[in-house]
Amino acid sequence: MPVFASDMLSSVAYAPDEILLALSLSGAVALTASPWIGLAVGAVILVLVLCYRLNLRAYPGGGGDYEVASRNLGTRAGRAVAAALLVDYVLTLAVSLTVFASYVGTAVPALKPFRVEVAILGILVVTVVGLRGWRGIRRVLAIPTYLFLAAVIVTIVVGIVRVANGDVPTAATSGLSVIAPDGEPGPLHGAAAAFIVLRAFSSGSVAVAGIETVATAVPNFAKPRGRNAANTLLLTGLLSAGMLIGLTWLTARLGVKFVADPAHSLAGPGGQAVAHADQDPVIGQIAAAVFSGAPALALIVVVVTALVLLGAANTAVEGFPGLASRLARDGFVPRQLATRGDRLTFSNGILLLSAAAVVLVIGFQARATDLIELYLVGVFLSFALGQLGMVRHWSRRIRRIVSGPARRRMMAARAVNALGLGLVGAVLLVVLVSKFTHGAWIAVAAMVVLYALMGLVRRHYARVDAELRASPDDTTARTLPANTHAVVVVTAIHKPTLRALAYARATRPTYVNAICVAVDEEAAERLQRRWDEMALPVPLTVLGSPYRELVRPVMNYIARIRRRSPRDLVIVYIPQYIVGRWWENILHNQTVLRLKSRLLFVPNVVVASVPWRLRSFDRNREALVARSGDIDEDVLGTMR
Q: Closest Cα partner for 216 from 84, 322, 137?
A: 322
329 binds its own copies, rule: CB under 8 A: yes
121 binds its own copies, rule: CB under 8 A: no
93-306-361 Cα angle (round to 5): 35
Which of 46, 297, 338, 398 is the binder for its own copies (CB under 8 A)? 338
Phi then psi for residue 630, to 5 deg, are: -130, 30
530-531-532 Cα angle (round to 5): 90
- Reading phi first (left if > 0) and then psi (alpha if -120 to 50, else beta), residue 511 is in beta
Query: d(Cα 362, Cα 360) in Å, to the nearest integer?
Result: 5
Which of 174, 228, 339, 565 is the binder for its own copies (CB under 8 A)? 339
Answer whether 421's CB lies under 8 Å from 391's CB. yes
Is 295 or 544 the residue whose CB approaches its own copies more closely?
A: 544
Phi then psi for residue 608, to 5 deg, are: -110, 120
Residues between 518 and 557 with contacts to its own copies, criterion CB under 8 A = 519-520, 530, 533-534, 536-538, 545, 547-552, 555-556
> Which of the ranges 14-22, 58-66, 147-155, 329-337 carries the binding residues for its own copies, by CB under 8 A?
329-337
562 binds its own copies, rule: CB under 8 A: yes
Number of residues that bind its own copies (CB under 8 A): 112
Which of 359, 606, 623, 626 is the binder for its own copies (CB under 8 A)? 606
Which of 465, 521, 532, 622 is the binder for its own copies (CB under 8 A)? 465
582 binds its own copies, rule: CB under 8 A: no
Residues between 425 and 464 with contacts to its own copies, criterion CB under 8 A = 457, 460-461, 464
Instruction: State in angstroms the smallest separation of the CB of 60 from its own copies.
Output: 16
Query: d(Cα 570, Cα 257) in Å, to the nearest integer?
Result: 78
Which of 503, 511, 513, 565 is the binder for its own copies (CB under 8 A)? 503
Please report, as a single letter, which amino acid is at residue 218.
V
> Which of the ranges 77-85, 221-229, 253-261, 565-573 carries the binding residues for its own copies, by CB under 8 A?
565-573
294 binds its own copies, rule: CB under 8 A: no
Instruction: State in angstroms the smallest separation of the CB of 58 from its own copies.
Output: 20
> Which of the ranges 52-60, 66-74, 236-244, 601-609 carries the binding residues for its own copies, by CB under 8 A?
601-609
Query: d(Cα 241, Cα 236) in Å, to the nearest integer?
Result: 8
- From the CA atom positions of the chain, what is the Rg in Å? 32
623 binds its own copies, rule: CB under 8 A: no
Which of 182, 297, 342, 487 is the binder for its own copies (CB under 8 A)? 342
Which of 541, 611, 622, 626 is the binder for its own copies (CB under 8 A)? 611
Instruction: State in angstroms the smallest separation of the CB of 322 from its own copies.
Output: 10
Answer whether 254's CB lies under 8 Å from 289's CB. yes
Instruction: State in angstroms the smallest separation of the CB of 570 from its own copies.
Output: 10
Instruction: State in angstroms the smallest separation of the CB of 218 from its own copies.
Output: 15
Angle between helices 347-363 and 295-329 (to 10 degrees): 130
Sequence-ordered list of residues with C-beta below 8 angstroms from that of 490, at least 6 positions apart, any chain? 497, 500, 514, 515, 516, 527, 540
Answer whether 273's CB lies under 8 Å from 266's CB. yes
- The residue ranges of DSSP E strands in 59-183, in sequence order, are 177-178
